């Protein structure tokens, strides 16, 4: 009996180390200096570069919130870039899940992230935070407060629109459960 056991052990040494060595090879650490979290979120290094950083969720959100990826691109270029990103990402469930344009956990659309940015919020802001930021900003530029101020009126509209985008997204999420 002990002989059979031994032959399994020695005959198939890969049974033992397989899982652990494989895991070690595929786990990639966050590219943010000093961070020990797994780097699961690809983020473009530069607008015209296919190269990617790989960050943990927290650092990907931080990176995305500080850098306007579309800076310096005209509207058409930005659009084709967005489409290209989507195509590139669709091959990997992970990359699609952690798309650069969304939040760290992939639950935010590109529009939502833009709307959040307009309200001065990061992608991980919850809806209560959104409401507070929206109210505070809307008060500042409300037509009653700044009558005849065209710039303020325009900003007021943009803030309303941003809030509407986020409110509808929140409702969609609630319906989905």
**What burial letters (b/e) apply to 14-33, b meaning 16+ CB within 10 Å?**
eeeeeeeeeeeeeeeebbbe
For 65, residues 6+ apart whose C-beta sits below 8 A from its C-beta are 117, 122, 123
Q: Per CB under 5 A, does 28 bind Zn ion?
A: no
Residues β-bridged to residue 54: 42
Q: Per CB under 5 A, does 32 bind Zn ion?
A: yes
Q: Per CB under 5 A, does 29 bind Zn ion?
A: no
Least gap, CB of 67 to Zn ion (angstroms): 16
The whole-angstrom separation of Cα 55 and Cα 66 is 14
Q: Name the residue nearer to Zn ion (CB basis): 41 or 101.
A: 41
Closest CA to 124 of 111, 145, 108, 135: 108
**Residue 159: other Cβ atoms inside 10 A:** 22
Q: Name the residue nearer to Zn ion (CB basis): 61 or 162.
A: 61
Q: Which of 59, 61, 69, 112 binds Zn ion (CB under 5 A)?
A: 59
Q: Name the residue nearer to Zn ion (CB basis): 41 or 115.
A: 41
Q: Which of 37, 149, 164, 171 binds Zn ion (CB under 5 A)?
A: 37
Q: Which of 41, 43, 56, 119 binds Zn ion (CB under 5 A)?
A: 56
Q: Which residues bind Zn ion (CB under 5 A)?
A: 30, 32, 35, 37, 56, 59
């Amino acid at each position: 009996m002990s002989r059979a056991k031994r032959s399994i052990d020695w005959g198939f040494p890969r049974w033992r180390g397989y899982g652990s060595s494989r895991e070690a090879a595929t786990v990639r650490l966050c590219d943010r200096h000093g961070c020990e979290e797994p780097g699961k979120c690809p983020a473009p290094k530069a607008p015209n570069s296919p190269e990617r950083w790989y960050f943990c969720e927290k650092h990907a959100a931080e990176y995305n919130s500080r850098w306007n990826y579309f800076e310096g691109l005209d509207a058409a270029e930005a659009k084709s870039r967005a489409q290209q990103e989507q195509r590139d990402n669709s091959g990997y469930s992970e990359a699609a899940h952690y798309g650069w344009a969304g939040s760290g956990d992939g639950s935010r659309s590109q529009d939502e992230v833009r709307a959040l940015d307009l309200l001065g919020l990061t992608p991980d802001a919850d809806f209560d935070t959104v409401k507070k930021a929206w109210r505070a900003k809307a008060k500042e530029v409300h037509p009653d407060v700044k009558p005849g101020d065209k710039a303020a009126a325009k900003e007021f509209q943009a803030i309303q629109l941003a809030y509407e985008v986020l409110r509808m997204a929140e409702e969609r999420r609630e319906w989905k459960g």
